[in-house]
Chain A
Amino acid sequence: MPASIDELAPPGALAKYEPVIGLEVHVQLATATKIFCSCPTSFGAAPNSNVCPVCLGLPGALPVLSREAVELAVRAALALHCEVRPQSRFARKNYFYPDLPKGYQISQYDEPVAEHGWVEIQVNGESKRIGITRVHMEDDAGKSVHDGFRDSSRYSYVDLNRCGTPLIEIVSEPDMRSADEAYSYLTELKQVLQFVEVSTCDMEKGHLRCDANVSVRLKGAGEFGTKTEVKNVNSFRFVRLAIDHEISRQVAILESGGTIHQETRLYNVATGETVGMRSKEHAHDYRYFPEPDLVPLRISDAWMNRIRDSMAELPAEKRARFIADYGLREYDAQVLTQSRAAADFFETVARAAGDPRAAANWVIGDLSGLLNAEGKSIEESPVTAERLGELVRLIAKGELSNKLAKEVFAKMFSTGEAAAVIIEREGLKQISDTGALEAIIEQVLAANGKQVEQYRSGKTTVLGFLVGQVMKASRGQANPGAVNELLKAKLT
């Protein structure tokens, strides 16, 4: 029976309990082909078009493991600080469902590809390590469509394109103590996996799916409470909401003298509640046994080292390097390593600009501002990293004032043109030429006789006003430093 809001625990009761949370995350590996056959993994193909005897589970078809899938799984394991097993093996997990034509999932059971890792998250400004129990490889099932067809009341429709898509399942230790910690863990996990290009982690395409194991215990209690599993929540925000709801539901039951039943529950986005699934008595007897059609997976040290050497820098390493090599502030380094794309973009700008700190300011400031306003990602930026770098270099060389640069940048963003093209067309080049500046200064001095008098009688603060007038007369193009020098020389 679904829990209604008044069955949830009051805040006072919640404070007596400590939640214990572990997460199981399924991640789709970024391979071109399926894990055990050469069918494409592309999303959005016509139903049942990317299939072959292997992924259809036709009699006699034999699986052959993808090298790329193994390498991506090992890469993920290394990025999550796991120990990679020299030998792992595949096992059959047996259950019946129409979108599983083989009648079993090929997974790993007693010998997963990697174990004993960790992910570091920030909790109230402090670092906390969340343990990774294991990483194992497996194939995905197909997709059942239960609604939307004329005869959906009588039939389910099955699309087997997704069958055999390579996945890793990352199982955490029950180390999280709040929904917020679970959210941070998922965010960090996603960032790491994207950085090392194990997965695109596109949530909308189901590349990252999460099941949460949740229990509560009285604060100070040694033993874990009975856990429930909240299944298949498809966004990080919903994971947080679902866990919070589940914690509250369990506390309410315990407070009223009830007991928690170990069960699988589904989160209902519309109601914000978790609802128990009707389950068969023996639903969890999967009768695992070693997959006889596949040899054990053996990964030599040499192979593992090759994979390690080919791996991109992790976010934390990149942050440290940005601070040490480019002299960035901690905060800027943090912002620029939110994604691999942002970090790569910044480094290209910095190289072209020759001024990393200015490059960082432009990427975090003006560029992000305009991108956010248009709801674009950095990959979609109309201004390429090279072109932004050129713009920043023009400022560093004194050919463009900051003010003009902002104007030029806005035009670059709307037209996609190079800075030099816009500067040339609009005549926005900074005026540093002494002759040209002197002509403007003469005009300004002639028009502002009163201020000239004041300056000469000792009120030197009017210099700022006069500089401003020159800038205005030059439509902002005069080089402010040069104007300052020339004005002082003229006035004395």
Chain B
Amino acid sequence: MKLTEKDVRYVADLANLTLQPQEVTRMVTELGGILDYVEKLNELDTSDVPPMAQVLYPDDETATLRPDRQHTGLGSEVALANAPLSGAGHFKVPKVIER
């Protein structure tokens, strides 16, 4: 698969990134190289291998579930401590116009 400049701009847009034209050119080369490398996996025949998103073996029932018991959270003071902007107990962000 050949990565194009259009692909790079599309992915950058989805990632909320603004790229300069020379950056787009560089990304085509760099991202393209990574994709080519991963492409190597396609040399193997995986038609009989079930897809796997994680490495834990499956049991009949998921064993890693939490009981419905509350803990005490961080509290708003700690939660907001690293916020660049806060006020009235809220995180403050530049005005969001649309959703």
Name A's B-contacting residues (CB within 8 A).
31-33, 37-40, 46-53, 56, 64-70, 87, 89, 94, 96-98, 144-146, 149, 151, 153-160, 277-279, 282, 285, 287, 290-292, 294-300, 302-303
Q: How many angstroms between the C-alpha atoms of A151 and B59 in the bound complex?
A: 53
Q: How many A-B residue pairs have CB under 8 A?
A: 147
Interface centre among A31, A47, A70 (most CB of B within 10 A): A47
| Residues of B in contact, count (CB < 8 Å) | 39
Cβ B79 vs Cβ A160 within 8 A: yes
Name B's A-contacting residues (CB within 8 A).
10, 13-14, 16, 53-54, 56, 58-62, 64-71, 73-76, 79-80, 85, 87-96, 98-99
* A-B residue pairs in contact (CB < 8 Å), sample of 5: A96-B16, A156-B92, A159-B90, A298-B60, A299-B61
Give the Cβ gap from A469 to chain B, nearest Cβ, in Å.
66
Cβ A156 vs Cβ B89 within 8 A: no
Q: A48-B90, A49-B76, A65-B64 are in contact. Are A38 and B69 (CB under 8 A)?
A: yes
Q: A48-B80, A146-B96, A278-B98 are in contact. Are A65 and B65 (CB under 8 A)?
A: yes
In the bound complex, residues from chain A placing their C-beta under 8 Å from that of B90 are: 47-48, 145, 157-159
Cβ A47 vs Cβ B89 within 8 A: yes
Q: A32-B69, A39-B70, A298-B61 are in contact. Are A56 and B79 (CB under 8 A)?
A: yes
Shortest Cβ-Cβ A-B pairs, 4 listed: A290-B53, A68-B68, A157-B90, A67-B65
Q: How many angstroms between the C-alpha atoms of A145 and B89 in the bound complex?
A: 12
In the bound complex, residues from chain A placing their C-beta under 8 Å from that of B94 are: 154-156
Cβ B92 vs Cβ A298 within 8 A: no
In the bound complex, residues from chain B placing their C-beta under 8 Å from that of A149 are: 87-88
Cβ A87 vs Cβ B65 within 8 A: no
In the bound complex, residues from chain A placing their C-beta under 8 Å from that of B87 are: 149, 151, 155, 157
In the bound complex, residues from chain B placing their C-beta under 8 Å from that of A282 are: 10, 13-14
Task: Report whether over half of chain B's contact residues are helix, strand or loop; otherwise say mixed.
Answer: loop
> Which one of B14, B60, B74, B79 lies within 8 Å of A300 (CB-CB)?
B60
Give the Cβ gap from A49 to chain B, nearest Cβ, in Å.
5
Q: A155-B94, A159-B90, A300-B60 are in contact. Are A287 and B14 (CB under 8 A)?
A: yes
Interface centre among B76, B90, B92 (most CB of A within 10 A): B90
Closest to A72 in B: B68
Closest to A153 in B: B95
Cβ B76 vs Cβ A46 within 8 A: yes
Q: How many angstroms between the C-alpha atoms of A292 and B55 in the bound complex?
A: 9
Closest to A152 in B: B95
Closest to A266 in B: B99
In the bound complex, residues from chain B placing their C-beta under 8 Å from that of A160 are: 79, 91
Cβ A38 vs Cβ B89 within 8 A: no
Q: How many angstroms between the C-alpha atoms of A296 and B53 in the bound complex?
A: 9
Give the Cβ gap from B85 to chain A, nearest Cβ, in Å.
7
Interface centre among B53, B64, B91, B92 (most CB of A within 10 A): B91
Cβ B61 vs Cβ A303 within 8 A: yes
In the bound complex, residues from chain A placing their C-beta under 8 Å from that of B85 are: 155
Closest to A48 in B: B76
Give the Cβ gap from A142 to chain B, nearest Cβ, in Å.
9
Cβ B98 vs Cβ A47 within 8 A: no
Q: A56-B79, A298-B61 are in contact. Are A32 and B96 (CB under 8 A)?
A: no
Q: How many angstroms between the C-alpha atoms of A159 and B80 in the bound complex?
A: 10
Q: How many angstroms between the C-alpha atoms of A160 and B88 in the bound complex?
A: 13
Q: How many angstroms between the C-alpha atoms of A157 and B68 in the bound complex?
A: 30
Cβ B76 vs Cβ A64 within 8 A: no
Known contacts A38-B69, A70-B62; can you find 12 more A-B pairs with CB under 8 A? A38-B71, A47-B88, A50-B73, A68-B67, A69-B68, A149-B87, A156-B94, A158-B93, A295-B56, A296-B62, A298-B62, A299-B62
